[in-house]
Amino acid sequence: MNKPEILVIDDEAPIRKLLEITLDSHDYKVHLAATAKEGVLLAINHPPDLILLDINLPDKSGHDILKELRTWYNKGIIMLSVQNSEEDIVKALDNGATDYLSKPFRNAELLARIRAVLRRNELVNDATIQSCGDLKIDFGARSVFRNDAIIKLTATEFNLMALFMKNVGRVLTHQYILKEIWGLPYQTETQYLRVFVGTLRKKIEEHPNQPQHIITESGVGYRFT
């Protein structure tokens, strides 16, 4: 079985070394880059299964690199940064980051995030039927099941559920969800989104007040697990 390949783009030598040792010890093949230019070239010449991308690079902002990579690279990108402001996190996620981790980070958390992103890579987004725990969605029939019992959803609730199921493990910002489901004019209607998430939780969660699937990322958006 081939080892999953991870590209680390970070200008801090100690961080690169730490990540190399940690990832190698968990059976990942690691490629290292200290600059944006070097990282993009490595990604183009040998596309990895996942990219760990620092925001603060010496030759170009990680945000700019993220947007450049997203023009052709469709696998997971986890942003790493000492900046942990809500605005910075939302910007990264809106630009296409799969996830975001603030430095200093715990190795166990990093590895868990990596596993989640790699599992998402394995999902076939255009699959007719997709399962996640006790939930199953049939995209062709526009039907959702919980423990094999059909759940009656409105058209909008189904579209929201389908968006979540196609992005399992990924943090989706309020603005992204609103744009995808309702269109650009609704990008600021976060209360509108909360209402629909609330009704969807009542239908798919065993305990809606303690959701196990639609997880709130405070101030940012939602993660479907």
* Domains defined along the chain, listed by start: 5-122 (3.40.50.2300), 129-224 (1.10.10.10)
Residue 110 burial (CB < 10 Å; 0-12/13-18/19+)?
buried
The proportion of the chain whose per-residue pLDDT surpasses 90, expressed as a percent, equals 46
- Over residues 100-148, the pLDDT tens digits come to 898 888 999 999 989 888 877 665 444 578 888 889 888 877 889 999 8
- Note whether 23 and 3 are within 8 A (CB): no
Of 206, 177, 224, 51, nearest to 42 (Cα)?
51
Q: Sign of torsion, CA 25 27 33 36?
A: negative
Q: What residues in the chain have per-residue pLDDT under 50?
A: 124-126
Whole-structure pTM over 0.85, yes or no?
no
- What local confidence, expressed as pLDDT, does residue 104 receive? 86
Kindly report the three-state secondary structure assignment for every residue of 87-127.
HHHHHHHHCCCCEEEECCCCHHHHHHHHHHHHHHHHCCCCC
